[in-house]
């Protein structure tokens, strides 16, 4: 039996790439994000029941595009306003529309939380949690120690969770933060000391 995510991707590949070009102006960038969205959605499929594979695939793609925009911008929330009100999916299910709206709000809140971090902390946090680079790769790229990378990641996680809670985003229920693993207790202590 063919994967429902693979089926949805094959049926909607061109539409998905056009959708991503609204966010990412380069054709290659949009194509890369479409493939990344497929890979992430496909990897998530075994662990859950996906009722609407197309909606899930487009939601993953949108999250990746918004993360890319936040990474490219020093003011992560400015470009997000340009997409307000656009329909993400053409799905007749009200639940899917509600999920898309809720997801958009959580992404905006997460982007604002990351933008509120100190600049170096935000850079490290995005490289580690959004782009998946190893601590060693980040340390080399930014010319800082691995311990400093650990401290920035732990501090970013703590502050983003606090921001989400303070602004009405239940950080433990469906937000992007909940999927980010908690830091080791030692790293948490170091992050608190670094403040």
pLDDT tens, position by position, for the chain (195 residues)? 567 888 888 889 899 999 999 988 888 888 888 888 888 888 777 767 888 999 999 999 999 999 888 887 744 444 444 444 444 444 444 555 555 556 557 767 777 788 788 888 988 888 887 678 899 999 998 999 999 999 999 998 888 888 888 887 654 444 444 444 434 334 433 443 444
Q: Give the residue from 176, 129, 178 showing the smallest Cα distance to 152.
A: 129
Cα distance between residue 194 and residue 187, in whole Å: 10
Confidence at residue 95, expressed as pLDDT on a 0 to 100 scale: 55
Q: Give the residue from 153, 136, 161, 146 showing the smallest Cα distance to 188.
A: 153
Confidence at residue 188, expressed as pLDDT on a 0 to 100 scale: 39
User: Are the C-beta atoms of 92 and 98 separated by less than 8 Å?
Assistant: no
Q: What is the SS3 assignment for 40-98?
A: HHHHHHHHCCCCCHHHHHHHHHHHHHHHHHHHHCCCCCCHHHHHCCCCCCCCCCHHHHH
Confidence at residue 184, expressed as pLDDT on a 0 to 100 scale: 38
Q: Give the residue from 92, 25, 26, 33 showing the smallest Cα distance to 58.
A: 33
Confidence at residue 67, expressed as pLDDT on a 0 to 100 scale: 87
User: Are the C-beta atoms of 55 and 89 separated by less than 8 Å?
Assistant: yes
Rg (CA), the chain: 17
Helices 146-166, 185-194: crossing angle, 10 deg rounding: 80
Cα distance between residue 116 and residue 15, in whole Å: 34
Cα distance between residue 61 and residue 33, in whole Å: 7
Q: Which residues contact 4 (CB under 8 A, 6 or more apart)?
A: 45, 50, 53
Q: Read off the tokens for 118.
A: 């100190």
Confidence at residue 152, expressed as pLDDT on a 0 to 100 scale: 92
Confidence at residue 181, expressed as pLDDT on a 0 to 100 scale: 43
């Amino acid at each position: 039996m063919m994967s429902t995510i693979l089926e949805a991707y094959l049926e909607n590949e061109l539409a998905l790439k056009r959708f991503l070009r609204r966010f990412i102006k380069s054709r290659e960038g949009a194509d890369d994000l479409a493939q990344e969205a497929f890979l992430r959605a496909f990897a998530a499929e075994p662990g859950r029941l996906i009722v609407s594979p197309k909606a899930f695939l487009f939601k993953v793609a949108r999250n990746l595009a918004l993360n890319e925009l936040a990474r490219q911008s020093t003011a992560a929330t400015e470009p997000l306003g340009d997409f307000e009100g656009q329909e993400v999916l053409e799905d007749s299910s009200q639940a899917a529309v509600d999920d898309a709206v809720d997801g958009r709000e959580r992404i905006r809140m997460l982007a604002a939380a990351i933008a509120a971090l100190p600049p170096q902390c935000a850079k490290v946090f995005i490289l580690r949690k959004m782009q998946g680079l190893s601590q060693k790769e980040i340390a080399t790229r930014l010319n800082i120690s691995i311990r400093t990378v650990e401290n920035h990641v732990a501090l970013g996680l703590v502050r983003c969770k606090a921001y989400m809670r303070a602004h009405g985003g239940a950080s433990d229920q469906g937000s992007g933060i909940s999927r980010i693993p908690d830091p080791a207790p030692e790293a948490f202590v170091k992050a608190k000391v670094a403040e």
